[in-house]
Amino acid sequence: MFDRRVVITGIGVVSPLGSQLETFWGRICEGFSGVRRISKFDPSGFACETAGEVIELDLEYFLSKKEQRRLDEYSHFAVAAGDMAVEDSGIDPGKEIAERFGAIVGSGVGGLHTLEIGHDALVNKGPTSMSPFMIPRMIPNMASGLIAIRHNLRGPNYGVVSACATSAHAIADACRIIRCNEADVMLAGGSEAAVCPIGVAGFGCMRALSKRNDSPETASRPFDKNRDGFVMGDGAGVMVLEELEHAKKRGATIYAEVAGFGMTCDAHHITQPAEGGDGAGRAMKLAMASAEINADEVGYINAHGTSTALNDQIETAAIKEVFGETLARKLMISSTKSMTAHMLGGAGCVEAAVCAMAMRDGVVPPTINYETPDPDCDLDYVPNIAREVKVDACLSNSFGFGGQNICLALKRFN
């Protein structure tokens, strides 16, 4: 039962770098920044005035005006990414496979802007003024439910909430379900639309966000000595995960194999990673063991790389501890958050998709805005320019507030 292999057969991405997979991937390879001054509201007076906003999405292609009004923006993104993943995979989620086809799509914070609007109505107009759609709009499992309703998916269905590790956890859970023969196909991923006043103010008051407001495109600079915080981003990633034989029988195109994963907890602090990166390191070790790959077989790591001082330093230390100094210095590591900003609950799936595309095309994406080396971050972060090189195995790291760590191990499909 547990020898069932899981492969990626469809990918949908909604991001600050575009909402078509090949457009998104082309801009990643070009080192294009999706960070701009916030336009969704006036950010004047906020500590951080920059974000990665979704500006290239024809929402009416996916949802009617009525449907849009009833749903939070994070659900808009999830539905669009889910539709694109299904279309990309070429699968027909018809009646014959409906009970063996599920969805796990989460969100780190859910409908934060809906909560903001509802609170304003309650305070200013009273308790009967709130929309009856407020609760279903804001709850973070709604994206998964909507996708299932849309595609008649009658298999396992729920949402995952683990902050910035959300969509990577969704992928791991979906893989387990397929491996355990509880489903043959799963949609998995995450979505976020937290670029709203309460979200930007909340993270800003934590002193977690960059204040490089005079140069938005260079604000997200993972591993650079002059990094000063992360940049929030909106977006979603959803992928079709499929049991290998099921995919082969229908002649599906296979991007990569999700060969393993490792999940740990720091049990240390509500926001800060554990000193030395113990939790992150154990997640990487468990992922490689699960995937049955050796450390010297890993060619690329898509780092969590948030552009915060402590996270980047500790992730670097964890990589050195896992791979050893010599091997760690041979690894190619990059943070695509330098381009997409940090899509929170959507980040893990989008970054796993980057790993799959990197193996498909033999291109390792760069970390842009890397200008000044940091003595505490002294590995090969593929600075500023993508590299053409064949990679057979990748790790994708995602770490969330609460000390929740996950590493996905992807292999080139053979």
Residue 119 annotated to the active site: no
The neighbour count for residue 331, using CB atoms within 10 Å, is 21
Q: List the one residue out of 93, 87, 62, 88 whose CA is nearest residue 77.
A: 62
310-313's contacts with Cβ under 8 Å and 24+ in sequence apart are: 310/272, 310/273, 311/273, 311/399, 312/222, 312/223, 312/227, 312/374, 312/377, 313/374, 313/376, 313/377
Say which of 76, 113, 246, 342 is annotated catalytic.
342
Task: Based on the fold, state whether residues 389 and 311 are members of the same structural domain.
Answer: yes
Domain closes at, from 199, 227, 249: 249
pLDDT tens string 356-403: 999 999 999 999 999 999 999 999 999 999 999 999 999 999 999 999
Task: Based on the fold, state whether residues 273 and 294 are members of the same structural domain.
Answer: yes
pLDDT at 328: 98
pLDDT tens string 199-236: 999 999 999 999 999 999 999 999 999 999 999 999 99
Indicate yes or no: pTM above 0.85. Answer: yes
User: How many independent structural domains does the chain possess?
Assistant: 2
pLDDT tens string 275-311: 889 999 999 999 999 999 999 999 999 999 999 999 9
Q: Which domain holds residue 277?
A: 262-411
Domain closes at, from 196, 219, 249: 249
Note whether residue 407 is domain-resident. yes
Measured CA to CA in angstroms, residue 384 lies from 23, 173, 230, 274, 321 at distances of 19, 34, 18, 29, 26
Taking each continuous run of H as one helix and of E as one strand, the counts in the chain are 13, 14
Cα 398 from Cα 413, distance rounded (Å): 22
DSSP characters over 298-366? --EEE----S-HHHHHHHHHHHHHHHHHHHHTTSEEE-THHHH-B-GGGHHHHHHHHHHHHHHHTEEPP
Q: Do residues 291 and 323 make contact, with C-beta atoms less than 8 angstroms apart?
A: no
Residue where the block lists tokens 């279903």: 136
Task: Based on the fold, state whether residues 145 and 245 are members of the same structural domain.
Answer: yes
Cα 151 from Cα 68, distance rounded (Å): 18
Task: Based on the fold, state whether residues 44 and 117 are members of the same structural domain.
Answer: yes
Say which of 29, 113, 304, 377 is annotated catalytic.
304
Cα 291 from Cα 279, distance rounded (Å): 18
Task: Based on the fold, state whether residues 339 and 378 are members of the same structural domain.
Answer: yes
pLDDT at 97: 85
pLDDT tens string 50-105: 999 999 999 999 999 999 999 999 999 999 999 999 999 999 987 678 899 999 99
Note whether residue 254 is domain-resident. no
Residue where the block lists tokens 């029988």: 249
What is the SS3 assignment for 1?
coil
Residues 157-185, mean pLDDT to the nearest whole number = 97
Task: Based on the fold, state whether residues 266 and 243 are members of the same structural domain.
Answer: no
Note whether residue 256 is domain-resident. no
The CATH code of the domain that includes 316 is 3.40.47.10
Average pLDDT in the chain: 96
Q: Do residues 350 and 237 make contact, with C-beta atoms less than 8 angstroms apart?
A: yes
Residue 304 annotated to the active site: yes
pLDDT higher than threshold 80 for residue 109: yes
CA 220 to chain CA centroid, nearest Å? 16
Residue 164 annotated to the active site: yes
Task: Based on the fold, state whether residues 230 and 303 are members of the same structural domain.
Answer: no
Note whether residue 84 is domain-resident. yes
Say which of 48, 164, 175, 196 is annotated catalytic.
164
Q: Do residues 147 and 82 make contact, with C-beta atoms less than 8 angstroms apart?
A: yes
Q: Do residues 78 and 54 make contact, with C-beta atoms less than 8 angstroms apart?
A: no
Task: Based on the fold, state whether residues 166 and 283 are members of the same structural domain.
Answer: no
Domain closes at, from 249, 273, 299: 249
Q: List the one residue out of 209, 182, 201 whose CA is nearest residue 271.
A: 209
The residues, ordered by sequence, that sit 6+ positions from 332 with a Cβ below 8 Å of its Cβ are: 299, 300, 301, 364, 380, 382, 387, 389, 391
DSSP characters over 84-152? HHHHHHT----TTTGGGEEEEEE-SS-SHHHHHHHHHHHHHH-GGGS-TTHHHHH-TTHHHHHHHHHHT
Q: Do residues 235 and 165 make contact, with C-beta atoms less than 8 angstroms apart?
A: no
